[in-house]
Every structure is written in C-alpha cells, then in structure tokens.
Amino acid sequence: MLLRIRILLFVKAFLLLCFWSWCFALFACSATQTVRGACLGATMFPAASNAPSMVPKHAVVSAVLPNQVDLEVADLAFGPTTLDTYQHPEGISFSLLNHGPAPLMSDTPVVAEFYLATNETTAPSASLFLGDVTFALPLAPGASVVVQLSPTGRSFLQVPTPAAGPYHPIVRTRLPAGLDPDESNNTFASSQTVTVYPLTAPYLGVFSSRGIVSREMDIEVSGDFVPNSSEPNSWRVMSQGSGFSAKVLAPGSGTYLLVVNHLTSASTDCSNDGYSPVSLYLNGVALAQWFDPAEQHEGSHGFVTDTWTLSLAEGENIIALVAEELCTHYWIRRLELFPDPMPFRFTRATTSGALTELELDLAIGLAYILEGSSDLVSWRYVNCLTNTTGRTAITMQAGDSIRFFRGVIR
C-alpha cells in the first residue's frame, strides 16, 4: 500500500514537472517570435500576414540585386556646332560605363534620349526633345564603351521648329524598369554650345530622312528621288528624268530669290570626280540647264548654296527640278523662296553703360538672325528677330568683344 502511494506521488510530481516545463517553453517561444514564423516544438509555421515587423521604422533598406546593371553616361560629343531647324545631327557619340554588379546583356534594350537645353542644369523634361535611339550591346561590369550613332540612328533625331539660339546637348539613358538601381548618373549635359538657326523663308521645302517638310509649298516627287541612306539631312536623285516639282501660290506678281542647298556626290570613276547635272524650270521655262553643283563651285563635293532670281506670276507657279544624264547621284537638302529685295538695314546703334541698342529696318513678314563679331571673321549668334513688322529696336548687354553686327536670313 505504501509502495502504491509512493508511485502515485512520483507520477503526480512528474506530471507537474512536465506541465511547468511546457508552460515555460511556450512563454520562451512567444517571446522570440519573428515575422518569418512561430515555433511550437521543432515545427516552423508561416507567420500571419499581420505579424509585426521587427525592422525599426526609421531604418532605410537599400540593396542592389545581383542581376541589376548600374549604367553611367558621360562625354557627350555633338556635331555640328550650328544646326538649322528640321536638321538631323551629323555626329553624336557618348561613353557608357557599367558599374555592375551584373553584365549588360546583348539582348537588353538601352534607350538613349537626346535633348537641347538652354543651360547645363536644365532637366530633360524642360528641354527641347530631339528624339531617341534604341540599341543593345554587351558590357561587362567595370567596362566602358564609346557609343557612336550611325546615320540611321541619327535619322531619328531632328531639331524641332521652336528652337532658335544657343543650346547645350543632353543625353539620358534608360533600361527596362527595375534593371538600373541608380538612375542619378544616367543623364549627362554637355558644356558644348550648339547654335540653332531657324529657317525663316516664307516658302520652304526641307528634304530629310523623316520625309519632306514644306511651308507654303506642295512638293511632288517623281522617279528615283528618295531619302538618302548615307546622309539623313538630304534626298538623292538616282536616275535621269527623276526629280520633283514644287507648287507655290504667290499673293501677287513679283521678283523672288530661289535658294537651293545641294551637292554633286563624288566618284573617281566620273569626270571631275563626280558629275550630277540637273535642270531647273519655272512654269515650264528653263532657269538653268545641265547645272552641276561641283562644276559651279571649283570641284567641291560638299553641300553648296546657289541662288536664282525668279519672276513669279500671281497665283499658282510650278518650280521643277529634273535630273539629266547622271554619273553620280545628285543630293539636295533644302529649297527656299524669298521675296526680293530683302532689306536689312541698321539705322542706329548706341551704347549706354552696359547696354547696346540697335535699331533696324527689316522686310515685313521675314525673320533674321543677328550675329556679332570682334574681327569680321568669326561670327556668333546674338539674337533671333522673328515676326517683324518693319522698323525694330533691340537692347542687349554690351559685350566687350563684339564690335560688329550683321543680319543673316536662314
């Protein structure tokens, strides 16, 4: 009997010990609970969705994932330093550096956006958008490469019509969302200055890879007259009989100046290293026949400008260009028509303290670029005079280096 009582007391003590051990384990587990799970014995269970976070509220966690690519863009080179509206740049390059940690894969698209800004600190969103180019290339972590746009790439970039005056070019790169962990180094503003001259002719035709831009001209093409794959800022005539016609509605009869920017393409297989004669007609009457730009400009095969004086009748007039027997292709950039004469006369110039005031007589309805020089050799942009109505006065800060001014019709 005594033995039975001792056994019962032992079992009771054992059960009490187990009970208090279980309570202690339960308390310890609840005190160490994390957002990842709760412990009950050796089993881990998912945490409840409303489990409290153990990360302090003031902590900021930033991490670069192993598949991310931190690109940096720099050293933007942009050419030429002078551009017309509607023109495509003729040379663009920039450097691209991969800070890693992952390599840039050859199938990952990189978008490069280009802008013109009035100063180096202007954000791209507040600048003039030229266009964007998408490309792909492999680039290992820590490696860099110089990206140079091809003529096809540059054909996607074009100076917009509101542009006039000096600007700084900007490039900004973009990767697919989430791939670049630090986009603060994706934009580079060049200290280089690019001057844009607006095309102000009342009658205008611009031939570019994006198509023909016309103002008060209805241009129709014929034959093998196509955008120039070698030069985005021009079209080319490739066979005899090809060309275009431009219909102009003149408000009244009068004298006009026809200005053409064009070239003879080069080849050593032809006489004079290239021969591309064309004929010009006004209302069926020849203005120039078998006219070769290089032949008229001492053998130059770069773009040159030629001018003809026309007498337009009131109403519809047709200006036509037709290729003759070509040895090389004929290229054309621009066709402009101005009323003649085009007066531009300085009537007064005074300087008072730090200010210079100029008074000018301008042709009504035309626009001009005012340029300044210190030596009559090198000229730079000063102002753009648009929507003028005769006599105009402008005031500007007097520059110690500017002693001469001139007006240019672009």
- The sheet carrying 379-385 orders its strands as 379-385, 368-373, 404-408
- Tell me the pLDDT of the chain (410 aa) as tens digits: 544 555 555 655 555 555 555 444 433 333 333 332 333 223 222 333 333 333 333 333 344 567 899 999 999 999 998 888 899 999 999 999 999 999 999 999 999 999 999 887 777 877 899 999 999 999 999 999 999 999 989 999 999 987 888 899 999 999 999 899 999 999 999 999 998 888 878 899 999 988 999 999 999 999 999 999 888 899 999 999 999 999 999 988 889 989 999 999 999 999 999 999 999 999 999 999 999 999 999 999 999 999 999 999 999 999 999 999 999 999 999 999 988 765 566 767 776 767 777 777 776 666 677 888 777 677 788 887 765 556 677 777 765 567 777 777 66
**Residue 385 CB coordination number (10 Å):** 19
Buried b (16+ CB within 10 A) or exposed e, 22-61: eeeeeeeeeeeeeeeebbeeeeeeeeeeeeeeeeeeeeee
In three state form, how does the secondary structure of 202-261 look?
Answer: CEEEEEECCEEEEECCEEEEECCEEECCCCCCCEEECCCCCEEEEEEEECCCEEEEEEEE
Q: Which two tokens stand for residue 194?
A: 């690019």
According to the model, what pLDDT value does residue 368 have?
75
| Listed residue (143, 26, 35, 154) closest to 95, CA to CA | 143
According to the model, what pLDDT value does residue 17 have?
56
Residue 300 DSSP one-character state = -
According to the model, what pLDDT value does residue 6 have?
55
- Phi/psi zone of residue 384: left (φ > 0), alpha (ψ -120 to 50 degrees), beta? beta
According to the model, what pLDDT value does residue 105 have?
94
| Listed residue (251, 403, 231, 188) closest to 332, CA to CA | 231
Verdict on whether the full-model pTM lies above 0.85: no
The C-alpha atoms of residue 83 and residue 116 are separated, in whole angstroms, by 12
According to the model, what pLDDT value does residue 31 have?
35
